[in-house]
Structure formats: C-alpha cells, structure tokens
Structure 1
Amino acid sequence: MFLRSDHELQFAGGASARSFGRMEAPARAATLGDRLQLRFPHFELAPDLGSQIGSREWWRGAATCAALLAVGWMLSPGIGRPIRAAVPAALDGRDWEEARAQAFGARALGATSGMRMAATAGVRPLADTPERPILELTATLGNGGGLAGVLKRSGVGAEDAARAVALIGSRVSPGELNPGTRLDITLGRRETKAQPRPLEKLAFRARFDLALELARAEGGLALKPIPIAIDHTPLRVQGRVGSSLYHAARAAGAPAKAVEAYIKSLSTRVPMGRVGGNDRFDIIIERQRAETGEVQLGKLLYAGLDQGKRSVRLLRWEEGSKVQWYDPKGIGQRRGGMTMPINGRLTSNFGWRVHPLLRFRRLHKGLDIAAPTGTPIRAAADGVVARAGRAGGYGNFVKLNHNGGLATGYGHMSRIAVRAGQRVRQGSVIGYVGSTGISTGPHLHYELWKNGAAVNPRSVSLASVQQLSGEDLRRFKATYARLMAVPTGAAKAD
C-alpha cells in the first residue's frame, strides 16, 4: 500500500507502487486506463485543486471542472419551469362526503375521523330511549353550598332532599359537616322522565367517629348511624436535636404545627440559642386512630427537652378557654408584672458610673445585659410601641408604653422587629441584640421610666408564678403520669 504526497509516491507497506492492484507486465494491461497509467504515471484526470495552486496541472484540472459544469448546465431542464402532472378530478356530492369522513384534520375546522355510513331505509328513529334502572353517583360537599343543594344538583328530588337533610340534622349539626366530605348517592328507577329519580341510598362520613347511611325502606327513607371505634392513644416522638430542632422533630414524625407549638412553649423556659445538638427532645401529640385506618393528629400535649444537667418538662393544661404550660410540680409560667427582656450577663447596673467610651462620670439610667448578636429581645410587659427607629447613642431603639405610667426602652438593637403604634404582648419579640450606637459590644441597654422619670428596672416587681393546688394539682399529676407511660410512636431521630 502507498500514499501520495504533493511530491511523489511514498510506500506505506511492503508492496511496490507498480505491483499494487495492477498486472506486473505492461503487455498484460487490458484497458485504456491501465495503458495511460503505465505511460503517464503522474497523470490524473481530476487533480486535487487544493494543492499545487497555479501550476499547469492545477489549471488543467480547473478547466476540466469548468467544462463539466458547463455540460451539466446545458443538459439541465431549466430552472423555474413547472413540472406538469395529472390533476385529479374534483369530488362533489356523496363522493366528497365519503372522502371527507375518511380524512384526518382539525376538528376545530369541522373535520371528522372515520367513516360514517348514511342511513338506509331499514333505520327507524326510536320513540323513547331506555334508562338505567339504578344510578350510582359520587358528590363532594362544597363551601357554603349546603347538603340540600348538593343532593338536588345530583338529581335528587326536592322532597327527598328535604327529608334526607332533616334526618341527618337529627343526628349531627349541618355545621359539623366539613367541606370536601364525599357523598355516595344511589338513585332508583322512575316511572317517567318528567319526574326526578327517587333517592335509594346515601352514605357518607359525618364525623371522624361516625358514619351515616340513609336507605329507602317500606315507610320511606330511614337513617342508620354507624359508630366508628377510635383509639385515643397519643403520639410520642423522641430524638436528638442535631443541627436543627425543627427538622429533627419533623423527620421523627411530628407534624409542622405541633413542632411550632413545641418550640414556642419551650422558648418560655429556655433560650433557643442554648439548645445544643446533643440535647434530646420529647414531644407528645394528641392522636386519634379510627378502626377504618384513618389517623388524625391534634394539639401538642407535652413538651420536653433533656440537656443532660438540665431538663425542661412542660404539660399543657386548659383552664376554661385559657391554655397554660406547667412543669411536673404544677408550677406555671410567670404572669403579671414585668419580665427581663433577655437572658444574659449583667455588665452594668443602674446608677452613676464612668462611661467606658466617653470617659466622664454620668448617670447610667438602665441595665446593660450582654448577649450574642441576634438574640431575640422580648417585651417586658404588654404595651404599645411609642417609638421604633434610630435614637443617637442608643442606636436602634424601641420604646414601649405600659399601663400605670410605666414605659420601657431597649437600645443598641441590631434589628427592630416592630413598628410605631403596634400593640405587643408580654414576651413578644420586638428586636434583636446588637451593638449599634455608642456601644462597646453586643448587649441590650434596658431602661424603665415611671411617670417620665428613669428608675432602676430591678426595683420593679417581676412576674408572679402561677401554681396549681388541690384537686387541680391531683388531676394534673394523674394526667402527667399517664402521658409519661405513652411509648414512642415514631422512629427515633438519632
């Protein structure tokens, strides 16, 4: 085998250029091409026009190419002249309708698919169409429509619909039926099409623990209540906090609303910033399990956090319409008076001192409490936001007006979470610890005014502690013991 370069033939294998693919002797060449190749070994009819540009061989190849193009142009039939073909005859009448029925096209333009045969003399129109003897329907109760309206729209007569609503109302209130309730309706045979079908059967889930069924008997519609057994064992979820308390509790099987209530109740006893990754959470949630397999989760019953040396255990306790959280001894949350806005290290008391930055002696009108940047600052008592914004050396500052001529101020915030005129509750987050204004580091400057004059915040009585006693305490401890006996109902988040 050989390769041809721009200069000469070069060998690429073990055979010579003369012997590869040809007879060895010139006398045995049988074709004109073979004879020309043997006589003119360097001659090519169509040379490479990309090499040896401008040589005699290149000009000969260019002339050959031009000649071939000219011959092709002369032999071409022409450009722009149409090629005539046979045109089919136009269809009309019955042929057109049959062809159109078999064609495919857009239905929006009136096309049809498939073939439709025209009616013959054997076709007779029906005087009446037969009906199904029984219709089984499914309807869904909507918002504000009412049960009677849903039944009428499903084909139930007004008399049967009114009778069904009256029977159901004797067992459950119409307001107890939740939107989205599925109704299984069975309509019977009617004598003529001019009257509505009679209601033969109506079945639906009225409550989580009750199903109702209406059936037609000899005396008319009759109601049959079907009680559903419910297991009220609570759901207990335990696990390790890890990188996120919320995500760990959700991964363990606790619903989102219960986790939010858990964190909210827990934050009244321990700062969330002090919850570590190795701490253990313990959550108990109200749960109802029907014998039919459905599960319904309710409110948070117990919130626990084990931090090793310190643990928090809170039990939900309802007193009328109020909800309180108590520890196992029946001691509740602080109420009334004022609470400290943050938990931190007291670095400066109320009184005269030399200012750490200004270097002169003046009255320090509040308390300085050191805490990490971003620590939530909570309202010391119920009140109205009198000011929220920048205030000179105080930096980001919030002032709250309270009853009894009291007012509190919170300075050096990194961020303000309330606006002027807003009403806040005791314990509500109003901002976050920072170091704005004239400050040596992240801390809260907390002031208290009584009738416009600055007073020592530590001189005002703090919140009182609520505690159960007597029969309430006995019932509380019994409930706590019962909840502590509940086994873990979901996989532990370790």
Structure 2
Amino acid sequence: VRDEFRSQMILPLALGADSGRHMGATDAVIPLKSAPERPTVELLATLVRGDSFGRMLQRAGVGSGDAARISELVAGAIPLSDIEPGTQVDIILGRRPQPGASRPLDSLSFRARFDLELAISRAGGALALERRPIRVDETPLRIRGTVGGSLYRSARAAGAPATAVQQYLETVGEHLDLDSALRSSDTFDIIISYRRAATGEVQAGRLLYAGIERDGKPRTQLMRWGSEGRFFEASGVGEQRNGLLSPVPGSVSSRYGMRRHPILGYRRMHRGQDYRASYGTPIVAVSDGRVSGAGRMGGCGIAVRLSHGGGLETRYCHMSRLAVRGGQSVRRGQVIGYVGSTGLSTGAHLHYEMYRGGQSVDPASVRYVTRAQLSGEELRAFRASLDKLKTVEPGAALASLAPRETEQAEPEREIEKVANPRKLR
C-alpha cells in the first residue's frame, strides 16, 4: 500500500520517476455514446480558379441542399461567373440535426463586388439573402512631383503604382524623347482611376492623364479618350493603334547602315537601330504578334523575335532577361523583356532589328505612329473633360471616407492579426 501511495507523491516526479499510477475504469465511470461537438463552426472558404461556387461550399462542409439553394440565391443577385477567384466567404454552420448529417448553414457573407456585399442567413428555417451596398468614391488619384535624376524612381517615390508609372512612361515616351527632352526640374503629372470603399479597400486603375510641365507651363498634356482608350493631346491630336510603338523610351544612338563595329574593330553592316536605355528598362512589343523565338541568339545575346504577320518580323537584342516564351501571343505595348548587355555588346542598350520577307530593313523607314484629329463637338467634349480632370487636387482621393452608420469596416480576423502584428511603441 505504501508503494502505491508513493507512486502518486511529488518526490518521484523530482527524481524523474513516473507521475502516478495508471488505474483502469470502474463502474463509476459512465462512457459517452458520442463525443460532444461545438454548437457552431466558423469557417473561411476561398473560391479558387476553375471551381464553382456550389462545389466550394460543399468542400467547406455545407450540405448539398443548402449549397444548391445558396447558389440559386446568389445567382439572383449577381452572375456567379462574376465572382472573382480568390473571393473569401465567411461561413457559420449550425448544430447537426442528427449524428452523421451535414451541419445546416446558419449564415454566410462575402464581398460579391467592390461595391456590394451579400449575406445569407436562416430566418424561420428558410435561407434568405440580404444585399449590403457599399459606398464607393471614384475620385481619380493625382500624383505630381519633380522629375529629378530618374523619372521612374521619382514617380514611384511619390506614391504612383508601378503599373501606372509604366503606362505613363510609354505614353509620354511616344511624344517626347525622355532622355533629351526632359530636365530634372520639370514636373510630372499623373492621374489614374481610383476607387475607395467606405469599408477601407482601394483599387488603383489605369492611367487617365499624363503630363509634363516646365516652369509652371504645360509641356505635354495627354488624356485617355474614347472607347478604345487612345491618348490625345490637349489640341485633340491623338495616336492610332495600328502604328508601331518605339520599343523603349530612349533615343536612337546608332542607326541602320555601314559602321565600324565597336568590338570587332572593322566596318560592317549594322542591320538595326540601337537605343539608349539603362539596364533593366522594360522593352515592349512594337505591335501585336507572336513570339517566334526567345532565348540566346549568338552575338545578339538574350533576344526575342516577333512575327507580326504579312512577312513583318522584329528582333530585340542584348536583353538582361526575358518576359515572354516561344509561341506566346503578345499585344502592342506588352513588356517582352528588359534591357541588358548580353552577347556582343559594350554596355546596356537595345539593338532593334526589323525584317520584311526575311530581308532586313531600316526600322526608321517604317512609320511608328499615325495620328488622328478630334474636331467639332467631340473636340469640345474632350477639352471639357480634360479641364474637369485637371481640377482634381493631388491626394484628394486619399482623404478620409468615414463609413456611415449602416456601413461597417471589414473585420480583422485573428489570423490576420498574427500575420500583421502591430508594432508597440
């Protein structure tokens, strides 16, 4: 008896012995027929690409009957195909009616659109849908600053999204030589579409306006106009999309023709144009086409060859890295690679070639951009829209948009608190 009591004392624990005596169940123990379950279960389901809304619900544990009814209710509010992949759905499942049965849905809510939340709850045994509109402000975001040593870095430092800056450089680069026509004291002016919800989320859209000012006076003013989204100058002169773009915003440093090769040391045909551009500058397709080659191409280094149809081909040489693969279709203005100095090259630049029917041609002989001219009522409407757009104050889109009493900010989930810990001061 003494040994039995000793095994349950503190002393054996301190000496590293067993922590007590294991004893079997007696008649005083009443076994449970089933393990108790939580009355409700809270889940977060995510709609993945290629999945259906109903399958996502069933995968989360919603019964097939409830999943079908929920899909029917949601489809009555918005097309199910409009729900973006990655949408997260908050689900609360209730108590099982019997062991082995699916838990019934108590409630469900998700962000159906940027301006709409849908909620489904069970009222009196039946599922009902509630639409919760979200107030959205669409004041464009205007960003201004000094060009400085690098237009790209200055615009990014001022808060412009990278995609918007890229669009800005491409747009302005078609009208100005960004290397020689800009001064460090010039002012850049960027306006992009911008949406912010009363619940706190924001969406930055495409470029609406691109401008350069010098000494307080506009140097160039370009605004997106029309259903095709072309940019027009303040005078109403715009570009046509059937022309060819410049592959990089830099100026031409060496033209097509005979010249002394800087590395080989003798005169030979220079079958292309060289563009000044810093290392890593994005290179874009001059027109729609298909990638007929991508990779190392001898003295051309890392290069991309595009077929544009009608026997027209272009090649882009000395890249630092690729952004496309062979056989891929590309659109006019799409980034296909980045400036480098691979192959027979003395430094970072772009060597650009053009072929027609398999024979090299002078790229300068091909017209890059044709023009369109607004006139009459359309020109007046364009100028009125331009004047209105330029009244937007820089940073006006960032002002506080406090939610109304009927609107609630998106809740912060516990997992988000762990992923984004608040810093203590």
TM range (shorter): 0.5 to 0.7
Query: Offset of 1:151 from its aligned partner?
Result: 2.4
Structure-2 change in CA distance of 1:403 and 1:230 (3 Å): closer
Structure 2 CA distance for partners of 1:285 and 1:184, relative to 1, 3 Å: same
1:480 aligns with 2:413: no
| 1:195 aligned residue (82, 85, 101) | 101
How far apart are the structure 1 equivalents of 2:30 and 2:350? 95
Q: Is the 8 A contact 2:47 2:88 kept in 1?
A: no
* Residue pairs, 1:67-106, within 5 angstroms: none
- Cα distance change of structure 1 residues 152 and 268 upon mapping to structure 2, 3 Å threshold: same
Partner of 1:286: 193
Alignment counterpart, residue 302 of structure 1, candidates 201, 209, 218 = 209
**Superposition TM-score, scaled by structure 1 size:** 0.56
- Secondary structure at the aligned position of 1:472 is classed as helix
| TM-fit CA distance, 1:137 | 0.7
| 1:456 to 1:233, Cα distance in 2 relative to 1, 3 A | closer
Letter aligned with residue 148 of structure 1? G
Q: What is the aligned partner in structure 1 of residue 40 from structure 2?
A: 135
More divergent stretch after superposition (263-272 vs 338-347): 338-347
Which runs of 5 or more structure 1 residues have no equivalent in the other structure? 1-92, 105-110, 358-364, 392-397, 438-442
Residue pair 1:228, 1:290 contacting (<8 A) in 2 also: yes
Equivalent residue letter for 2:222: L
Q: Are the structure 2 counterparts of residues 488 and 456 from structure 1 closer, same or farther at C-alpha, using a change threshold of 3 Å?
A: closer
Superposition deviation, residue 221 in structure 1: 0.8
Cα deviation, 1:190-213, whole Å, max 9, x if unaligned, reads 432232222121111111111111
1:126 matched to which residue of 2? 32
The CA distance in 2 between the partners of 1:255 and 1:369, in whole Å, is: 31
Matched, 1:245 2:151: yes
Change (3 A) 1:128 1:454: closer
Aligned to 1:313, the other structure's residue is in SS state: strand
Higher relative contact order (CA 8 A, sep 6+): 2
1:316 aligns with 2:221: no
The equivalent of 1:156 in structure 2 is 62
In structure 2, do the counterparts of structure 1 residues 272 and 125 end up closer, same or farther at CA, with 3 Å as the change threshold?
A: same
Structure 1 segment 1-12 matched on structure 2, within 5 A: none
Preserved contact between residue 211 and residue 218 of structure 2 (Cα < 8 Å): no
C-alpha deviations, 1:150-208, integer Å up to 9, x for none?
32233322111111111111112222223333322222334322322221211111111
Q: Tell me the secondary structure at the aligned position of residue 179 of structure 2.
A: helix
Does 2:74 correspond to 1:171? no
- Superposition pairs for residues 88-487 of structure 1, below 5 Å? 119-132=25-38, 134-143=39-48, 144-218=50-124, 220-274=126-180, 275-308=182-215, 311-319=219-227, 322-333=228-239, 463-487=369-393
Q: Structure 2 vs 1, CA of residues 328 and 136 (structure 1 numbering), >3 Å: closer, same or farther?
A: farther
Write the letter of the residue equivalent to 2:219: S
Q: Is the 8 A contact 2:8 2:20 kept in 1?
A: no
Displacement of 1:301: 1.1
Q: Is the 8 A contact 2:147 2:185 kept in 1?
A: yes
CA distance in 2, matches of 1:191, 1:409: 68
Is the contact between residue 252 and residue 490 of structure 1 (CA under 8 Å) also seen in structure 2? no
Residue identity matched to 1:296: Q
Moved over 6 A (4+): 93-100, 111-117, 337-350, 365-386, 388-391, 398-410, 413-419, 421-434, 443-462
User: Matched residues, percent identical?
Assistant: 40
Q: 1:484 deviation in Å?
A: 0.7
Cα pair distance change 1:349/1:205, threshold 3 Å: closer
The change in CA–CA distance for 1:340 and 1:290 in structure 2 (over 3 A counts) is: closer
For 1:317, give the aligned amino acid. Answer: W
Structure 1 pair 487–374 and aligned structure 2 pair: CA distance change class (3 A): closer
Q: SS at the partner of 1:237?
A: strand
- SS of residue matched to 1:273: coil
Q: TM-score w.r.t. structure 2 length?
A: 0.64
Whole-angstrom distance in 2 between the partners of 1:474 and 1:145: 48
CA contact (8 A) 1:188 1:197 kept: yes
Contact 1:382/1:424, CA 8 A, preserved across alignment: yes
The equivalent of 2:411 in structure 1 is: none
Counterpart secondary structure, 2:66: helix
Deviation, 1:300, is 1.3
